[in-house]
Amino acid sequence: RYFHLLVNMQLLFSPYWFVLLFTLIPVAYRGKTMQKHEYLMLYTILFALSILSLFPHQEARFLLPLLLPISVLYGSTLSQCSNSQKFALRGTWTIFNLVVSVFFGILHQGGLIRLLMRLNMFTAQDNKNNILSHTPNT
């Protein structure tokens, strides 16, 4: 039941997720106040995450609607940062997206693409027998 919290949030929103956690710590432990819209976004994220975590089937794509409230919360946090911190956060976000794009776009799907290419070669060699049907040749 913790898969969304421990894996999927980092997978989808890694830099955003860590900024969110560092935003939560002062609010929870130091009593730092936030603006009303920040509280609304924070509660929206926490409520949706807790409800979605109750279901046994947990996929990362189910958390995509949380991008808007996390972005709003991240934007208000980013507006309070210095220029060097903004540059570092944007660089982290860009590098993270490049690494994840290469991993999931090329490496993760690489085995499937090779399999489909070999299957295509296999079926192209023997046009009389179709491996996908069970009807006998006439």
pLDDT tens-digit map of 53-68: 888 888 888 888 888 8
CA distance 11 to 25: 21
How many Å apart are CA 89 and CA 124, to the nearest integer? 50
Is the model's pLDDT at 134 over the cut of 70?
A: no
Cβ atoms 123, 129 nearer than 8 A? no
pTM of the model: 0.61
